């Protein structure tokens, strides 16, 4: 492997990841894996490109075999970018061109099939990103063309293998997660302090938080969920609107999401109220925050992810909040190169928590008449507990009217 100009981690980080991938392929009986998503190609090879969001172009596809052979298949026009952002030596890369130049495959599927034939795995068991949490970054037509070129291959789901590797973050990844969480906390502070009730709109708040995130060092930011007022309370995961924040006293406001730094996301929720909350609003908010803190207090390596969910659900039930527990059975998710990763903190997740897992805990109470209540925290699992990565104030912020 090479130390390229724009590699985000030292080469030994990628070597360790590939070693885990090869060991996992041997464990699950894969002869090769094809990785085409932005997150997995970046994770295992470092590949970056500004056209990942294109629905037409594919910057590159990583091929790894159980014997340790590797290549990135890309167009000739994308090769220079692959060379400066990935850890693979230039002579291991494979290009295709639509101009039918001698020595080059002339389509993306033909180039992938050529690599598999070269590595003597075209008739083997090939893992692809077809399970929960992944998407193959190839058109349906290209997939059909590829499969027709490797008719003896067995295509299998590699999702379990990939999540077993990615769900536990390395010390270097955790350092990146600490930084993106720092950026997020700073963005929330700037945004909430900038709100003028009756004047600032949800969209304006979003732009303020975007600007602060980029000034703090972010490379991207989620389309934040920002909602204020009774008509907006039920609209979970809705983007910001042109609605003015704090038109009337007692309007609950929620901001959900965060920025991306070196490919890694932070995802938190904080809330404010215009003027003074009612007694019931404050009560429900306090119970929701207490439930979150209770969940954090029981997290440590060795306990099932479902146990966290069971304990928080039980707490809400003991407080008479069952009818308002909108997240019953599902309390959170992993965070990393994807904003939602496996495992989940849910009753149907049998994963045992391990040191190095970075996750978000977000239990929520909901009353359609008075608001949504709860915060979201990011943390990393340790042997004896967890490290909180998002120490933003937990209090319900009161916005002056």
Q: What is the mean pLDDT of the chain?
A: 96
User: Given pLDDT bands bounded at 50, 70 and 90, which one contains residue 4?
Assistant: confident
Predicted confidence at residue 103, as pLDDT, reads 66
Q: Show the tokens assigned to 60.
A: 């590159």
The conformation of residue 201, written as its DSSP 8-state character, comes to B
Question: pLDDT digits over 204-221, tens only?
Answer: 999 999 999 999 999 999
The conformation of residue 56, written as its DSSP 8-state character, comes to S
Helix (H) or strand (E) run with residue 20 in it: helix 11-28
Helix (H) or strand (E) run with residue 52 in it: none
In the predicted structure, residue 158 carries a pLDDT above the cut 90: yes
Question: pLDDT digits over 235-292, tens only?
Answer: 999 999 999 999 999 999 999 999 999 999 999 999 999 999 999 999 999 999 999 9
Q: Please indicate, yes or no, whether the overall pTM of this predicted structure exceeds 0.85.
A: yes
d(CA 58, CA 78): 9
Predicted confidence at residue 54, as pLDDT, reads 86
Domains and CATH numbers, the chain: 11-166 (3.40.350.10), 168-399 (3.90.230.10)
In the predicted structure, residue 62 carries a pLDDT above the cut 90: yes
Predicted confidence at residue 2, as pLDDT, reads 74
Residue in 16, 25, 105, 102 with CA at minimum distance from that of residue 63:
25
Other beta carbons within 10 Å of 132: 10
Ramachandran assignment for 210, one of left (phi > 0), alpha (psi -120 to 50 degrees), beta (any other): alpha
User: Given pLDDT bands bounded at 50, 70 and 90, which one contains residue 102?
Assistant: low
Least confident of 99-103, 199-203, 330-334: 99-103
Helix (H) or strand (E) run with residue 41 in it: helix 38-45
Least confident of 12-26, 100-114, 123-137: 100-114
d(CA 276, CA 320): 24
Predicted confidence at residue 97, as pLDDT, reads 84
- Backbone phi and psi for residue 257, each to the nearest 5 degrees, phi listed first: 135, -155
In the predicted structure, residue 98 carries a pLDDT above the cut 80: no
User: Given pLDDT bands bounded at 50, 70 and 90, which one contains residue 99?
Assistant: low
| Percentages (nearest 5) of helix, strand, coil residues in the chain | 35, 20, 45
């Amino acid at each position: 492997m090479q130390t390229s100009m724009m590699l985000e981690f030292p080469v030994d980080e990628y070597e360790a990841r590939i070693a885990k991938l090869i060991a996992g392929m041997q464990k699950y009986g894969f002869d090769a894996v094809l990785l085409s998503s932005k997150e997995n190609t970046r994770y295992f090879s470092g590949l970056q490109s500004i056209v990942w969001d294109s629905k037409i172009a594919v910057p590159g596809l990583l091929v790894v075999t159980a014997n340790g052979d590797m290549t990135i298949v890309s167009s000739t026009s994308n090769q220079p970018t692959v060379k400066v952002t990935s850890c693979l030596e230039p002579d291991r890369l494979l290009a295709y061109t639509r101009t039918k130049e001698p020595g080059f495959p002339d389509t993306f599927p033909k180039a992938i099939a050529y690599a598999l034939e070269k590595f003597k795995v075209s008739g083997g068991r090939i893992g692809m990103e077809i399970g929960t949490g992944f998407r193959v970054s190839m058109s349906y037509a290209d997939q059909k063309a590829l499969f027709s070129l490797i008719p003896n291959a067995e295509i299998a789901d590699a999702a379990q293998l990939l999540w077993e590797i990615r769900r536990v973050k390395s010390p270097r990844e955790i350092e990146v997660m600490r930084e993106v969480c720092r950026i997020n906390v700073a963005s929330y502070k700037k945004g909430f302090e900038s709100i003028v009730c009756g004047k600032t709109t949800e969209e304006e708040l979003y732009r303020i938080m975007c600007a602060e995130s980029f000034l703090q060092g972010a490379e991207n930011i989620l389309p934040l969920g920002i909602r204020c007022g009774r008509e907006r309370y039920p609209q979970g995961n809705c983007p910001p609107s042109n609605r003015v924040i704090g038109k009337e006293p007692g309007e609950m406001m929620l901001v959900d999401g965060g920025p991306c730094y070196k490919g890694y996301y932070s995802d938190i929720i904080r809330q404010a109220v215009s003027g003074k909350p009612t007694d019931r609003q404050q009560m429900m908010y306090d119970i929701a925050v207490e439930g979150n803190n209770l969940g954090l207090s029981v997290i440590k390596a060795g306990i099932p992810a479902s146990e966290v969910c069971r304990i928080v659900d039980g707490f809400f039930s003991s407080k008479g909040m069952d009818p308002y527990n909108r997240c019953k059975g599902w309390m959170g998710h992993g965070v990393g190169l994807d904003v939602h990763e496996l495992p989940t903190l849910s009753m149907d997740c049998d994963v045992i928590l391990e040191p190095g897992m970075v996750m978000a805990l977000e239990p929520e109470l909901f009353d359609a008449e008075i608001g949504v209540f709860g915060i979201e925290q990011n943390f990393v699992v340790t042997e004896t507990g967890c490290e909180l990565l998002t120490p933003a104030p937990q209090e319900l912020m009161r916005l002056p009217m």
